[in-house]
Amino acid sequence: MRDPEGIISALRQADSVCICTHVNPDGDTIGSALAMRLALLGLGKRVNVFCQDKVPDHLAFMPGAEKIRFPEENTESYDLFLSVDVSDLRRLGTCASLMAACTRSAQMDHHGTNPGFTDVNSVDENAAATSIMILEQLKVMGVSISPEIAICLYTGISTDTGNFSFDCTDAETFRAMGELMEVGLPLADLSMRLFRERDKAQLRLLGRAIENMSFEHDGRISVMSLTLKDFLDCKALSEHADTLVNFGLETIGTQMAVLAREDSDGRVKFSLRARAPFTVNDIAESLGGGGHARAAGISMKGTLRDTLPIVVQAMKERIEKQK
Ligand code: 5GP
Ligand code: MN
């Protein structure tokens, strides 16, 4: 349930706010955090934004991105801890330690699997993006939406809706976009930057992933995997694999897609996607991950060889159950 009044009252009592984002940050968590940061700075509060991981290069253009710090750099305490777009405590990664430096906690999020891990929880799984909830929140607070705030919110909304194409995209999405356009959002420039240009390293990695793509279950499941060696050979970072799973789902006849990538810490990260009416959040949850109905993720300890068959088997079973 969205709780704009609860968030307002938590913010009203706070002169200082620590905003936290999720691990492997995406456009929605960074956009939400930076929009909220600008709004709270405008209200005269002391604000810092934290992320366990580095902001991906393709999101570094957002106003204030250079101010985002690693949790271990923090030396201050705060009246309020505010997490944005973080589905559970584990997804905070090392940012979870900052809760201890804060008097109270609140969160804004749109994951159905969110257990409500803060004092004030504004969570709505029907919001297409957390950034949409932030826009509504700022309006209720009487904050005027600056072009800089609009850039952050657009980034969150457009990336979480697959550039306005996933089935979470709804009328509220376009109403929000109308408001961002009214304040001068440079849509064409940003859309080019986010959706129509790529790093060479990402293209090399895409080549690898597609070369290795295989199909299971009569072609209904597409499987891609990337090893640490693939990343090294392509001079690519983990962030360069972030949207590649969608290419698997684009294959005609595919109902689910998985991309598995080896992490440097002895874990494998899985990105799962499904076409309607199939769902993957249930698979992710049953294996210790989470996410949305058609876009979910898991991080498992072990090797690709040990973990990938477990995930693919769970996908097969899910398809059989849902068909
Ligand atoms: P992606 O595959 O793009 O990394 O993530 C897709 C969705 O699943 C996102 O909404 C993300 O928050 C969620 N997600 C990804 N990995 C994990 C994970 O390890 N645990 C949980 N709980 N959610 C995840
Ligand atoms: Mn999101």
Question: How do residues 224-279 score in pLDDT, each as one tens digit?
Answer: 999 999 999 999 999 999 999 999 999 999 999 999 999 999 999 999 999 999 99
User: What pLDDT digit, counting tens, does each position of 43-58 carry?
Assistant: 999 999 999 999 999 9
Comparing CA positions, the residue from 187, 268, 178 lying closest to residue 224 is 268
pLDDT at 305 over 90: yes
The answer to whether the beta carbons of residues 287 and 298 sit under 8 Å apart is yes
Measuring from atom 9 of ligand 1, which residue has the nearest CA?
291
* pLDDT at position 322: 86
Ligand 1 pocket, residue 87 CB under 6 Å: yes
CA of 281 to the centre of ligand 1 (A): 9
User: What pLDDT digit, counting tens, does each position of 5-16 carry?
Assistant: 999 999 999 999
The answer to whether the beta carbons of residues 43 and 15 sit under 8 Å apart is no
Residue 306 sits at φ, ψ, to 5 deg, of -85, -35
Helix (H) or strand (E) holding 266: none
| Maximum pairwise Cα distance, the chain | 59
Q: Is pTM beyond 0.85 here?
A: yes
Q: Which residues contact 217 (CB under 8 A, 6 or more apart)?
A: 315, 316, 319
The answer to whether the beta carbons of residues 216 and 312 sit under 8 Å apart is yes
CA of 23 to the centre of ligand 1 (A): 9
**Which ligand 1 atom minimizes the distance to the CA of 285?**
22
Using pLDDT thresholds of 50, 70 and 90, give the confidence band for residue 323. Answer: confident
* pLDDT at position 235: 98
pLDDT at 157 over 90: yes
CA of 143 to the centre of ligand 1 (A): 31
Q: Return d(Cα 51, Cα 43) in angstroms, integer.
A: 23
Ligand 1 pocket, residue 243 CB under 6 Å: no
CA of 218 to the centre of ligand 2 (A): 32
User: What pLDDT digit, counting tens, does each position of 179-211 carry?
Assistant: 999 999 999 999 999 999 999 999 999 999 999
Measuring from atom 16 of ligand 1, which residue has the nearest CA?
297
Q: Return d(Cα 225, Cα 281) in angstroms, integer.
A: 20
| Span of 29-33, 61-65, 172-176, 289-293 with lowest mean pLDDT | 289-293
∠ CA 115-260-216, nearest 5°, is 105
Measuring from atom 2 of ligand 1, which residue has the nearest CA?
271
Mean pLDDT taken over the chain: 97
Q: Return d(Cα 2, Cα 121) in angstroms, integer.
A: 8
Using pLDDT thresholds of 50, 70 and 90, give the confidence band for residue 129. Answer: very high
- Which whole number is the average pLDDT over 26-52? 98
Comparing CA positions, the residue from 296, 273, 6 lying closest to residue 123 is 6
Alpha helices in the chain (DSSP H): 4-12, 27-42, 130-140, 147-160, 171-182, 187-195, 200-211, 228-233, 245-249, 281-286, 304-322
DSSP 228: H
Residue 209 CA, distance from chain mean position = 22
